[in-house]
Amino acid sequence: MTEYEQKLKIEREKKALIKDRLKNILVKMGYTPTTTREDMFYFAQADGTKDQEHIYLNANSYGHKDKINVFGVFPRDNNNDYISPSEDKGYKEINISINKTDEQIIKDIERRFKPNYLNALKEVCERVNKSNNKKKQRENLINEIANILNVKSYTPNYKNDYPSINEYNNGESVNIKTDYNAQELNFNLRLNKEMGLKLVQFLKQNKVLEVKK
């Protein structure tokens, strides 16, 4: 075994011990470890979950030699959009000396990290639920219209777009889409002259375009 290979072997053994230690710290705190990771030399990582909590412990990550970097993960909404916590929630990552005992590290996490993380997590979960509810309301509205018209609705498979109805027939087309709050409908129509004039009369009779003074 070359000197370089011997060095790698020693570092791998050290790293494996650190990784196991991070995992055990999570277990002591009541988290269920999910993954562990490491690089060629120093970096070691473990993460764990408990209910909606998800925290990471990184040892010797870039710029944090001899430190354990602690940070939390927040849930995404059903569009896979990341919703970051408000700044006033005080959430921030912390660093803890790797030379402290497990008990000291746990106390630091409980005292310096978790209160602000849990506060921020609560806010993010509420906003995620609100976003998911809005998405469901948009889908329900478009499906209701689709049932009335006996046509199919379209649900986009990418974010930043809303469900819609898109129908084409003999040069005529109908596109209907909701707004974010499912309180308004956006119509894009191409109609023949007769149908267009009927629509104009409908708008007039219902004073849709009446200028309010």
Better-predicted residue by pLDDT, 66 or 212: 66
The dihedral over CA atoms of 21, 22, 25, 29, expressed in degrees to the nearest 10, equals -160
Quick one: pLDDT at residue 42?
Answer: 57
What band does 24 get if pLDDT is binned at 50, 70 and 90? very high
CA 140/CA 155 separation, integer angstroms: 11
Q: How confident is the model at residue 129 (pLDDT cuts 50, 70, 90)?
A: very high
Pick 125 or 34 by higher pLDDT: 125
Residue 34 near residue 49, CB atoms below 8 Å:
yes
Confidence band for 96, pLDDT divided at 50, 70 and 90: very high
- In this prediction the pTM is 0.76
159 — pLDDT class (breaks 50, 70, 90)? low
Q: pLDDT value at position 75? A: 92
Share of the chain above pLDDT 70, in %: 92
- What residues contact 73, with CB distance under 8 A and at least 6 apart? 47, 54, 55, 56
- pLDDT for residue 111: 96
pLDDT band at 149 (very low <50, low <70, confident <90, very high): confident
Cβ-contact 166, 175 below 8 angstroms? yes
Q: What pLDDT sits at residue 35?
A: 78
Q: What is the pLDDT of residue 213?
A: 58
Quickly state the pLDDT bin for 212 (edges 50, 70, 90).
Answer: low
The yes-or-no verdict on residue 79 having pLDDT over 60 is: yes
205 pLDDT more than 80: yes
